[in-house]
Amino acid sequence: MTTPPEPDVLATLRALRQSRRFLPTPVAREDLDRILEVARWTGSAKNTQPWHLVVVTDSALNSGLANLGAFTGFLDGVAASIVVAVEGEGRSVAYDDGRLAERVMLAAAGLGIGSGTAWFSNPAARQQVRELLGLPDHLEPWSAIGLGYTDTSEPQATPQLSGRKPLEEMTSWNRYGRPAPTQPT
């Protein structure tokens, strides 16, 4: 029998949301290192670890990154960002990339630091990210994760981008379409 997780760990995982407005408070170097150490242990297909992370603490560079995507403007105002650049293409690299990004966000949340994904969907924008950060051609910088202390006095999302499907709509038990059995009392 496994030890159940601490309830506050689950509460932190459950509460992770996208932050887009940040206080002008820096994130300590020690905390960035702790987040990176969590990211380093992300699992990947065949343990290929197809990533390189660029930690951007220079606010002029973060402002530059903010201009390179359709919805990346919030990077102008983060305390730091982590650009995730991956080698290779296809479903499994994308999966690895997403797992790492989520770990970064969850590690940040564990330290009380807010985070937000910024996506560079356009190839020309990714080339500009490469040039801005001096990344080699074989690395594709699909996203950056903005980090900072969330300014909770500001809304973080438009209402249509909020909320989730109900659990019953996204799950089946034992066979597609079957609802969860009622709990024995």
Contact positions vs ligand FMN (CB under 6 A): 17-18, 20, 69, 71-72, 74, 116-119, 157, 161-162
CB 144 within 8 A of CB 56: yes
Cβ at position 20, least distance to ligand FMN in Å: 6
34 or 99: whose CB is closer to ligand FMN? 99
Cβ at position 157, least distance to ligand FMN in Å: 5
CA distance 32 to 23: 17
69 or 141: whose CB is closer to ligand FMN? 69
14 or 175: whose CB is closer to ligand FMN? 14
Cβ at position 13, least distance to ligand FMN in Å: 12
Please enumerate in sequence order all residues whose Cβ is within 8 A of that of 22, keeping only pairs 6 or more positions apart, or say none: 74, 77, 78, 79, 114, 146, 148, 149, 150, 151
Q: What is the DSSP string of 58-125?
A: -HHHHHHHHTTSTT-GGGTT-SEEEEEEEES-SHHHHHHHHHHHHHHHHHHHHTT-EEEEEE--SHHH
Cβ at position 174, least distance to ligand FMN in Å: 29
CA distance 128 to 91: 24
Nearest to 107 by CA among 5, 3, 4, 9: 9
Cβ at position 166, least distance to ligand FMN in Å: 15
33 or 89: whose CB is closer to ligand FMN? 89
Cβ at position 130, least distance to ligand FMN in Å: 17
CB atoms inside a 10 Å sphere around CB 6: 9
71 or 173: whose CB is closer to ligand FMN? 71
48 or 162: whose CB is closer to ligand FMN? 162
